[in-house]
Structure 1
């Protein structure tokens, strides 16, 4: 939905995207190589002349901590910045971690003009972003997203949050980023499972909005894991970000609770938390999409071949489509009840209506849910028997 510079919308340029929402919120999502290189001024342009408190997780600190400190040392005045390592993982995505971050900010006397900088994946950026939204009723938050999930999901939106009360992201705030920087080079150090988790979010955007992106993934199932060419990788990364931004822009603060980007996020949160986070976020999204595709098949929204294409792509990308420990009718029914409570009393279940399009459903008969699960389980047994899995 690109618009004129004076209006609302998403405008793409070679360095990334600028989003300007109808209510007047504006922020940048940048894509650049070598964002921690001392010769690259991009990150410094968001931090210059401000006090900066930077947070990383242990893994990111071991990989990039030295480069981060060298960068800050090169661009910022002595005494104006510090770096800190916080615990990561879904079990530490909590109010306790947010309070620890705020305590550091208080000890360092971070002022209202200061910046909390997060360098890491989705959990790190979510908790630091939430802390930035709370501290002094809001300080700037800049983020360098180092995972594929972070770059195509957390890195392009305004939501921050933590897990609480047994629910995923039960507490949070809308807090637009002061800067959101994405460097494809970071993806080269990710383990394959983290790449696949990010691909789950990319499949989501392809199914609901872009047949060409879907077909590209079908042609390149090893993308970001095996060498497929920078042009293909750049296309998939940029197009996923752009699609997400276009969906978010007119409804940035979720006034309309019917959101296509919730595809994969009705059953997914319950599957993720129900597994004790044994199942990663992108994996839970994939399982949800497989279940939802079989629901769409039984409700007459897509034909069998389309359902098989969607589930087949998830297989090809190495993502799970079923989990016996959590894909039980009672857990999925509870997931729908929870979704209704979050969505103003309506289910707004996103179901594919084709490759590149989706619709909402507010009514899923219990018998259809059970049939969809049986069909998915049966297809998985056949796949295992054929040696595909």
Structure 2
């Protein structure tokens, strides 16, 4: 199959067209980087469909921007009558079991059988919804991700988790279901609004802070890297973030070990995001969490003041918030710690930076005194408004 090169041994193997991952437990998949994926001259997407019956799902915005190109591609590349395109609701408020059931209903009405393929064309929410539907429809069938956002390409697009929000909790229900293909075309990023670019840069900064001092420095020096004509630098940032994430995921793909460095930004963040009613987008909640974690590490004596300042300044320099007064209260953030403690097998596993490109775990609740948490929050609350809140005026 075009673009698919099985990994010879466990690990992450990079090539010009993307990455192959083979986990030690045997799960393998491909993450592709390609140009002009929806051009009829590009066989990649069609080859992954392998002549099977296909339903492509996309949200209203993606349909407006790329729907006609997608339909022309499928018309040119797939057999008549073998495919259809459906528009679904997107956004965190629609990331629910109801939406997953609607996708499954469409599949059933269309006669999609166990050999069929679902295609998700969109950002993280679309891919999570379609991926979860594919995981449970007929006890599992293939799905393909065509990731159109920066968050999608460097985060959702390289992992195997799918899920929906439920019971007042972010991603409470879900499944590990590796995509048959995950296709990334950097050209999609050119049509993203600034807020979505910033959210993706938040996930990029996450990997730089915990794993890669060079990527950290590049983001410091070029915070507008995806808003300037810098194709080589964009390629470096994109590939670096993807590969760093893949290498962290590979040995622990299904999270048998609940202490994961990639959970940096995901302890306080989910509660901030949910408590805001999704006024705060996912990448923004990750940014606030990273700032809290950095200040907390400083207070606990795990991170030097200079490195802490660089981290917080990087986050705000990317146009992201580091504090939200309505959700960043000591009471709510303590609740976030307790929720993570319960979810992670009664161990906290809070990821904190201990330098630029290095991180460690704070494993026990008692290691985070209430006074230390409050001091960290206060340090962020008193920063100048332009550093503290970021441009979060646009509703999610």
TM-score by length of 1: 0.96
What is the CA-CA distance between 1:7 and the residue it aligns to?
1.6
Partners of 2:326 and 2:386 in 1: CA distance? 19
Correspondence 1:170 to 2:153: no
SS in 2 for 1:224: helix
- For 1:376, the equivalent position in structure 2 comes to 380
Deviation sequence 1:73-107 (CA, Å, 0-9, x none): 11110111000000000000000000000001111
RMSD: 1.2
Partner of residue 74, structure 1: 76
**CA contact 1:164–1:170 (8 Å) conserved in 2:** yes
2:255 match: secondary structure: coil
Question: 1:280-326 CA distances to partner (integer Å, 9 max, x unpaired)?
Answer: 00000000000000001011111111010000011111000000010
CA distance in 1, matches of 2:65, 2:116: 26
Q: Is the 8 A contact 1:48 1:76 kept in 2?
A: no
1:113 CA displacement: 1.1
Preserved CA contact (<8 Å) 2:99 2:129: yes
CA distance in 1, matches of 2:42, 2:62: 20
Trace 1:171-250 onto structure 2 (pairs within 5 A).
Answer: 171-227=173-229, 229-250=230-251
Structure 1 unmatched ranges of 5 or more: 385-389
- Where 2:172 maps in the other structure, the secondary structure is strand
Distance 1:14 1:383 in 2: 38
For 1:297, the equivalent position in structure 2 comes to: 298
Q: Is the 8 A contact 1:94 1:163 kept in 2?
A: yes
* C-alpha distance in structure 1 between counterparts of 2:180 and 2:63, whole Å: 22
Call closer, same or farther: CA 1:251–1:74 in 2, change over 3 Å: same
| 1:178-212 deviations in Å (ceiling 9; x for gaps) | 00000000000000000000000000000110000
Residues in 2 aligned to 1:383 and 1:193: alpha-carbon distance in whole angstroms: 16
**C-alpha distance in structure 2 between counterparts of 1:248 and 1:324, whole Å:** 33
The aligned counterpart of 2:151 is: 149
Per the alignment, residue 94 of structure 2 pairs with 92
Structure 2 residue runs of 5 or longer lacking an equivalent are 1-5, 389-396
**Distance change in 2, residues 1:328/1:195 (3 Å):** same
Structure-2 residue corresponding to 1:47: 49
- Report the number of matched residues: 380
Q: How far 1:226 sits from its partner (Å)?
A: 2.8
- Is residue 265 from structure 1 mapped to residue 266 from structure 2 by the alignment? yes
Alpha-carbon distance, 1:48 to partner: 2.4
